[in-house]
Amino acid sequence: MHYENVLATIGNTPLIRMNRIAQEIPAKVFAKVESYNPGQSAKDRIALFMIEEAERAGKLKPGGTIVEATSGNTGFSIAMVSSIKGYRCILTLTSKASPEKISLLKSMGAQVVICPVDVEPADPRSYYSAAERIAHETPNSFYLAQNFNLDNAEAHYRTTGPEIWKQTRGKITHFVCCAGTGGTLSGTARYLKEKNPDVKIIGVDAYGSVLKKFWETHEYDPNEIKPYKVEGLGKNIIPHNMNFELVDDFVKVTDKDSAFQTRDLAKYEGLMVGYSSGSAMQAVFEIADELSKDDVVVVLFSDHGSRYLGKIFNDEWMVEQGWLECEPAEAAAGMGSTPPVKHFEHYAPAEATGSAAYFYSYEAMRDRYIKYYRTYRLKYKKYIRLTRQTLGL
């Protein structure tokens, strides 16, 4: 058994049961782990499909140039497909993209153009405008435009949706998925809803993005836009690939919660996944009080954690954000992977040894704390909901 080339290994990613991290969630929780794609993200699926559709339509000819505005993952996948198919690849990125992502793109032979992150989409300096201009000025080029090219969602309709349906043997009740271009969510959701209209679709959005507000009000509110840290999640435009009608609920998550959830996924599930995967996992906790033991939740993890080693997996970066309480010097010395030991010192008897030493160890305390915190948070949310119902709010 062998594959003709790396593109043949795209898709058919595993569905993995979440155990320790989801202990307090009443439902069965499974993750669709897209980092198993050869380019380590869900974007492999759309890059291949959009490029092959463009070839079939005669929009992309041999020796041509592919141009795209991308937060990084789509760029990597496009660069990978381009290298196999012999296209030149020019990518525009915002200055928010991590240095690791930029190096990865270059390693695949892509030309990278960095554009300012804090400008309006219509501004000529934005990464969208830059991509359009480059495509316009480059002969025999094609701008894939993942936000507006409906082959993006179609790729997930044809692959991700059927895979999840088959892997859960049709038992899925909730699909939790981050929304950026909306392609992953909308394509997968369309398939799942066709199979069973009762499957609940939970979109995940960032504070600082316009998507949730648009879903609620059908209005684009630029006041929603502000900088945030999670990459790939949320938008400052309304992408055509985002089919709002398929969404039953939209959940906003913070940069900080997303960061800790991502670190916990590595620590408790052995899954080194990306920052937005922590956002999606956080959203499962946000809806936990609506779940029951018969529910089957599928949460989609978009990419691999290795792309964020300089960010959420870097203690110094976490300290700089004010999320870990220790000095950068301590973090650099490896002391800050979680809140520093010194805060817990007074709990431990000075003479503690053996299993007592373990009981009072920092790791054991944090595990107990996390369990308590999760239980408390779920109960707390339920009480607020009940109180609001009683007061008719």
Q: Which residues bind ligand PLP (CB under 6 A)?
A: 71, 73-74, 178-185, 231-233, 274, 276, 302-303
What is the smallest separation between the CB atom of 3 and ligand PLP, expressed in angstroms?
24
Q: 232: which 2 tokens?
A: 């790939």
Beta strands in the chain (DSSP E): 15-17, 28-33, 65-69, 88-94, 111-115, 141-143, 174-178, 200-206, 249-253, 296-301
Output 28 or 311, the one with its CB closest to ligand PLP.
Answer: 311
Distance CA 273, CA 257 (A): 15
Bridge partners, 260 (sequence order): none
CA distance 37 to 21: 23
In DSSP terms, which residues pair with 111 in a beta bridge? 90
Nearer to ligand PLP, 54 or 69 (CB): 69
Least distance to ligand PLP from the beta carbon of 79, Å? 14
Measuring CA to CA, which residue among 167, 174, 215 is closest to residue 196?
Answer: 174
Q: Is 96 a catalytic residue?
A: no
Shorter beta-carbon distance to ligand PLP: residue 183 or 340: 183
Considering the complex, what minimum distance in angstroms separates the CB of residue 7 from ligand PLP? 19
Closest approach of ligand PLP to the CB of residue 176, in Å? 12
**For ligand PLP, the closer CB: 269 or 303:** 303
What separation in angstroms does the CA of 82 have from each of 13, 39, 66, 152, 304? 22, 12, 8, 17, 21
Residue 390: CB atoms within 10 Å: 8
Question: Which residue lies nearer to ligand PLP by CB, 117 or 332?
Answer: 117
Q: For residue 360, what are the CA distances in angstroms to 265, 268, 357, 363?
A: 23, 19, 5, 8
Nearest to ligand PLP of 210, 233 (CB atom): 233
Residue whose Cβ sits closest to ligand PLP: 232
Least spacing, CB of residue 39 vs ligand PLP, in Å: 11
Q: Pick the catalytic residue: 28, 43, 193, 212?
A: 43
Q: Between β-strands 15-17 and 28-33, what pairing exists: parallel, antiparallel or unpaired? A: antiparallel
Beta bridge partners of 303: 41
Kindly list the distances between the CA atom of residue 300 and the CA atoms of 6, 178, 278, 314, in Å, as whole numbers in the listed order.
22, 8, 10, 24
Cβ 183 to ligand PLP, closest distance in Å? 4
> 67-86 burial string, b = 16+ CB within 10 Å, else e?
bbbbbbbbbbbbbbbbeebe
Would you please indicate which residues are annotated as catalytic (active-site) residues? 43
